Amino acid sequence: MSSKLTGQHDPLVRKLTGLGNLTDDDIGALRSLPIRERHLRAGTLIVIEDQLISECCLLLSGYACRHKVAKDGSRQIVSFHVAGDILDIQHLFLEQADHNVQTVTDADVAFIPMNALRAVVESNPSMAVALWRDCLVDASIFREWVLNVGRRSAAERIAHMLCEFAMRCESAGLGAASELTVPMTQDYIADATGLTAVHVNRVLRHLREQGLIEGAGRAFKIADWEGMRRFADFRPGYLHLAA
């Protein structure tokens, strides 16, 4: 189960060293965390609202999202996640899940017992700071999403979401933002922006006509990064990425 010799922990180590200064000791502690690895098909639910959580889930490859469901059954995605992201670190100190976590594509995930993680946090202050900082960045992104969904037009919302997603992929080491092909369906984009899939489709056509994105159907990418950034009012300070 434990695995000091393989590279399973690498995405996590990469992520956390980007968040703070980890000592060799910290990294050793990270690498000795017990891990249960799983391959999941697209659309698999990992965390379900109201569940009691005892394991922390780390995304090793693929994409995932967190979402909540309204009274009428409609879904609101509250964040997307890429390789290296910790999907439910909030359960370090909150027992009960307040939202669902689901894979968007096929994905490899690693489960770490929350107790083991709590133990590492207690004995490694700089690890605690890195993880705490990760929580704070998460919260900052949620704030930007409230603005995005609350005060931007449909086209701006979608453009902003795409800019953020591309930049986070780039910073996770998945390649240049301008080369990324978007992995989610128009349904996912709709649920993330508070729109309907039909309207997302129309907006994407519009963005394509403006030359801001390119590529047909479900395989498109950002064609004019600077134009998109300006159109979407994307100011990435809120991602708090290392300079």
Residues 213-242 that bind DNA (CB under 7 A): 216-218
- Using CB under 7 A, pick the residue from 95, 98, 187, 214 that binds DNA: 187
Q: List strands edge to edge, sheet with 36-40.
A: 36-40, 107-113, 55-61
Q: Which is nearer to DNA, 113 or 194 (CB)?
A: 194
Chosen from a copy of itself, DNA, none, partner binding at 108 (C-beta under 5 to 8 Å by type): none
Nearest distance in Å: CB 188, DNA: 8
Closest to a copy of itself by CB, 52 vs 219, is 52
Which residues 6+ apart lie within 8 Å of 200 measured at CB?
154, 158, 186, 189, 190, 193
Could you say which of DNA, a copy of itself, none residue 68 binds, taking C-beta under 5 to 8 angstroms by partner kind?
Answer: a copy of itself
CB nearer a copy of itself, residue 8 or residue 193 = 193
Phi, psi of 60 (to 5 degrees): -90, -35
From 45, 48, 119, 136, residue interacting with a copy of itself (rule: CB under 8 A): 136
Q: Which residue is it, tokens 């395989």? A: 219
- Dihedral class, residue 187 (left if φ above 0, else alpha if ψ from -120 to 50, else beta): alpha
Q: How far apart are the first and last CA of the chain?
A: 36
Among the listed residues 204, 212, 213, 228, the single contact to DNA using CB under 7 A: 204
Between 143 and 205, CB nearer to a copy of itself: 143
The span from the CA of 242 to the CA of 238, in Å, is: 11
Contact 32, 4 (CB under 8 A): yes
Q: Does 201 bind DNA (CB under 7 A)?
A: yes
List of residues contacting DNA (CB under 7 A)? 153-155, 185-187, 194-199, 201-202, 204-205, 216-218
